[in-house]
Amino acid sequence: MNFNIPTHRFSAPLAAASMAGLLLSGCAVAGASDAATQNANTTEAESLQISESWIRAASDGMTSGFAVLENPTDHPAALVKVDSTLAGSTELHDMEGSGTAMSMKELDGPLEIPAHSTIELAPGGKHVMLMDLKQELKVGQSPALRLTFGDGSTREVPFEIKSFTGAKESYAPEAEESGHAGPAEGDGHAGH
């Protein structure tokens, strides 16, 4: 009896399937490599997703801006500063304390946005402070603020003006300088 089985019938389809698998995996690796290269060549301003951007309506003095910053990339990003023609100056702030003893403090550096994370600028937390307003900010307007990121890239982002009565923190630079960081009643700057 002859038990020689012709292997060419089985090896050709098997070899073709193996080659197809290698080609497909090579395409996937090339695709991932292309995505990584594109990700590396994209600026922070282009790659960050910014949503829910708004500013509390105000007639004068100062107010706050808020937004959600999402970093879907493999690299950390940073919001370095925010500029606006609406105000004499803008700063990135955070809140300290709790309850009625909350006060604002300027961030010591940029606002870090780690890879694959979301940072929320929200009432009672981190926010953009617009000081020395140059005009009344009326509900329904959507002026753009210019955001500058850690890699030097910039982006104009519309911020809708909204009415908001919550989070009545106080801004009391005199109290902070004297070491008494608490609310300053009657200073005319409450309610950002």
- How do the domains of the chain map onto residue ranges? 45-168
The fraction of the chain above a pLDDT of 70, given in percent, is: 64
Q: Which residues contact 30 (CB under 8 A, 6 or more apart)?
A: none
> Per the CATH hierarchy, to which homologous superfamily does domain 45-168 belong?
PCu(A)C copper chaperone (2.60.40.1890)
Tell me, what's the pLDDT at 97?
72
Q: Of 151, 140, 169, nearest to 63 (Cα)? A: 169
From the CB of residue 111, how many other CB atoms can be counted at a distance below 10 Å? 21
Average pLDDT value for residue range 151-166:
93
Secondary structure of residue 111 in the 3-state scheme: strand
pLDDT per position as a tens digit, 10-60 = 455 555 555 555 555 555 444 444 444 445 689 999 999 999 999 999 999
Instruction: State yes or no: pLDDT of 125 exceeds 70.
Output: yes
Q: Residue 133 pairs with which residues in a beta bridge?
A: 87
Instruction: State yes or no: pLDDT of 186 exceeds 70.
Output: no
Secondary structure of residue 44 in the 3-state scheme: helix
The tokens describing 23, both together, are 């080609």
Q: Which residues contact 83 (CB under 8 A, 6 or more apart)?
A: 90, 145, 146, 148
Average pLDDT value for residue range 66-82:
97
